[in-house]
Structure 1
Amino acid sequence: MTVQTPGPFRTADVPLADPYPLYRHYREHDPVHRADDTWYLFRHDDVAHVLTGRGYGRGALPSRIPGTCPHLKRTASHWMVFMDPPEHTRVRALVAKAFTPRIVEGLRPRIRELAAGLVAELGAEREADLVDRFAAPLPILVISELLGVPRSDRPWFRARAVDLQQATSSRVARRPDAFRVADDAARELDAYFREELGRRRSTERRDDLIAAMLAAAEPADDDTLVGTCIHLLTAGHETTTNLLGKGLLALMAHPDQLALLRERPELLPAAVEELVRYDSPVQMISRWAHRDDGIGGRTIKEGEKVTMVLGSANRDPAHFPDPDHLDIRRDARRHAGFGMGIHYCVGAPLARAEAELGLGELLRGLPHLMLGDEPVRYAEDLVFHGPERLMVRPGARRRGGAP
């Protein structure tokens, strides 16, 4: 793909199906790029400088949430992603006490079982949308297990998560009622989780993430607990959905790597890291400068917004040789796909497990899986980037496959 010399970087102008040639142009010719009121960073070293240094932070809750959305504003104000230390440190510690690697490791058999069930249902179809039938339901089922959400509530849970995500900047620009929809979802989820906290405080003895966080929390900290539950639901839903969808697309586009992974499934953990690097489910994150700083010969002024293009950083040849080639044997652990520094994704171990086990069950249970004829349709969102409709033909299932 040939990229003409572009003007100022505009996310709305980026080709969603393949933004990487455009990223490469900026990375090579204007890696610290100014457009409108935002700096865009395209090189891995510059991205790491901002994310791991102390000169940048998330600052206050985005002012773009209108005053007519009180539920959304209150809910988001308790999300770690919008906090700086010391408040961020306190809330992250609360989650870390409850959301331990041991809990994730113990959940792996259940993740595999849930994935196998979805694969079995998918295998019965002649053609189906992989996003709707597999990539979107799996992370909702898993986080529901963690939070102790009853199975009967999970379709409602998923719908509220989708509605809440309408408040992302790119979707607000395309849907006039986006904030209202998100505020309604925040109100309903807030009421739901407050009721769940009440149940665990009264007679119900539960072994789930809500109960563990409640045991670790300070008294009268319900706003933080409720906000954190909602954050875990939404943060882990769309990103893992995109990782599963784009991961399969990347493997289908590289038949040699797909064949290697089928032959050597023990490479799945390394393959997941490479898939995150190759086509990151979150393409951009933003910070604000707390003081003047120099990057790449440009001066970032205190208070200015800086957007790190993670998708570009993960294709930087200074860190990843032949970066546009998918290589599941590559050591890709230095990628920025889960962030860096104090805001490194707290749910990364769970996302890795879901991707590893989910893709593993797809490849094992559907050995003849193929893409359908319908073109892949991407969501109109470059930040949370991935297909919203991905038609596949499951094909004949192997005898003795997953139930």
Structure 2
Amino acid sequence: MKPFSLRDWSDADLRDPFPVFARYLAAGPVHFADGTCYVFGHDAAVQVLTSPAFGRRSPSGGGSPVTRSSALRTMVENWLVFLDPPRHTELRSVLTKEFSPSVVTNLRPRITAIAEELLAGLPMTFDLVERFAAPLPILVISELLGVPRADWGWLRAMAVDLQQASSVRAAANPDAHAVADRAAQELRDYFLTLVEKRRSDPGDDLVSLMVSAQTRGEPLSSDEIVGTCVHLMTAGHETTTNVLAKSVLALAARPAALAELRRGVTPAAVEELVRFDPPVQAVGRWAHEDAVVAGYPIPAGAKVMVVLGAANRDPARFTAPDSLLFDRPGGRNTGFGLGIHYCLGATLARAELEIGLGLLLPALGGFSTGEVEFPHDIVFHGPHRVVVTRRG
């Protein structure tokens, strides 16, 4: 078996990476290749994601995957996902109340209205990602941030360009960093303007909250606010977009599961869809001290990649892991992460998925899928085009 890598996947394997994951998991819960420790087993993944022995910051002090000096690096280094305590704890505490279950419950009527509007007047054949899976979450997060709805299309385009800086995509595109850096500069200018507006004319949105918030007795810096806005805008919609699109693909191939969900999309069904094909297939950590994971010694300073898709299909943890079972007994999967970096917007994403799928499936009637395109990225995993033809 060749050493595992997150790069150079074939189109077929990108569409269905789970047989690849299964082969490596069957050979062992942990693999080493090119100086990186890859974690496939569920229990091993839980340990890495929840242990303080592993963090987002590398031994050199950097946390982001961006290595060159740029507007992008400045922005990404202020993303919550790349921070460790104590700064992570301080910034997350500012934002947590805006993503609480009670706040999300109050948002459900608005999420429903946005979804219904997007579904009104759908043509018989359309791109699911363009018409529904992408705009639904980005419109919701746009409202939370207080940005004009008219800008969502531009923001979505900038978010896609920003993702080009991921190590997997950058390896395949020599212009990727330049594209991403231009997007970062434009997003920085956009949100700096919005921050200045909220300083003089605050509202009840997240940007106003961050402008007025203090940590350690000091206000958040403009870089911190802008970085957080862009992080919420990109990561906050990308996860839901990916799960929505991949759920439709999974259901199209499984008529019995589709028929079951047509009777109602439950929270348990949403959890199972996230387990079955998570929106992000791998996340990185660094060993901050010597550790042992599943019997394998991990030296301090080692880079660790937790393969969430493999952990979510580990037969040692999940019965019939390759099946969609909407009555699967409760239990934690790694689809939204675990530990202190558990997805801040997971409650919101679940509501968007429950409401979105609950309205989408009846609107599609009897449907079929046509052209499907995946970007060459196994980490931020989801199609950027799914052609759907609805009937009835």
Q: Tell me if both proteins adopt one fold, taking TM over 0.5 as the criterion.
A: yes
Correspondences of 1:3-402 after superposition (within 5 Å): 6-14=1-9, 15-59=13-57, 60-62=62-64, 64-67=66-69, 69=70, 71-122=71-122, 125-202=123-200, 204-217=201-214, 218-219=218-219, 221-263=221-263, 265=264, 267-372=265-370, 374=371, 376-396=372-392
User: What are the Cα deviations for residues 22-81 of structure 1, in whole angstroms up to 9, with x where unaligned?
Assistant: 2111112132101111111110000001111111101123464312x2x11111111111
Aligned pairs, how many? 382
For the 8 Å contact 2:99–2:347, the answer to whether it is kept is no
Correspondence for 1:3: none
CA distance in 1, matches of 2:64, 2:196: 30
Give the counterpart letter for 1:304 in structure 2.
A
Q: Give 3-state SS (helix, strand or coil) of 2:266's partner.
A: helix
RMSD value over aligned CA atoms? 1.6
Q: Distance in 2 between matches of 1:346 and 1:106?
A: 17
Q: Which ranges of structure 2 fall in alignment gaps of 5 or more residues? A: none
**Normalization by structure 2: what TM-score?**
0.93
Whether contact under 8 Å (2:5, 2:33) holds in the other structure is yes
CA 1:85 to 1:220, structure 2 compared with 1: closer, same or farther past 3 Å?
closer
Q: Deviations over 1:108-141 (max 9, x none)?
A: 111111111111232xx13111111111111111
Check conservation: 1:38, 1:305, Cα contact below 8 A. yes
Other structure's SS at 2:172 match: coil
Query: Is the alpha carbon distance of 1:220 and 1:271 closer, same or farther for their aligned partners in structure 2, counting shifts above 3 Å?
Result: closer
Secondary structure, aligned partner of 1:312: helix
Once the two structures are overlaid, the 10-residue window that deviates more, 131-140 or 57-66, is 57-66
Report if aligned partners of 1:98, 1:213 keep a CA contact under 8 Å in 2. Answer: no
For 1:278 and 1:201, how far apart are their aligned partners in 2? 43
Structure 1 gaps of 5+ residues are 1-5, 397-403
TM-score normalised by the chain length of structure 1: 0.91
Q: Deviations over 1:347-403 (max 9, x none)?
A: 10111111111111111222223223x3x222211001111211110223xxxxxxx
Deviation at 1:146, TM superposition (A): 0.8
Deviation of residue 333 (structure 1)? 4.2
Using the TM superposition, give the Cα deviation of residue 179 of structure 1 relative to its aligned residue in structure 2, in angstroms: 1.1
Task: Tell me how far apart the structure 1 counterparts of residues 295 and 202 of structure 2 sit (CA, whole Å).
Answer: 58
SS in 1 for 2:37: strand
Q: Please give the secondary structure, in 1, of the residue aligned with 2:289.
A: coil
Alpha-carbon separation, structure 1, partners of 2:246 and 2:188: 31
| 1:83-127 deviation line (CA, Å, top 9, x unaligned) | 1111111111111143333222211111111111111232xx131
Structure 2: how far apart are the matches of 1:39 and 1:297?
A: 13
Query: Moved runs in structure 1, 4+ residues, more than 6 A?
Result: none
Q: Is the 8 A contact 2:66 2:73 kept in 1?
A: no
SS at match of 1:78: coil
Q: Percent identity?
A: 53
Mapped to 1, the partners of 2:106 and 2:383 lie a distance apart of 30
* Distance in 2 of aligned mates of 1:95 and 1:63: 23
How far residue 221 of structure 1 moved from its aligned partner, in angstroms, is: 2.4
Quick one: which amino acid aligns to residue 32 of structure 2? R
Measure how far apart 1:214 and its partner are: 2.4
Residues 9 and 35, structure 1, Cα contact 8 Å, conserved in 2 = yes
**Cα pair 1:287 1:306 within 8 Å, conserved:** yes
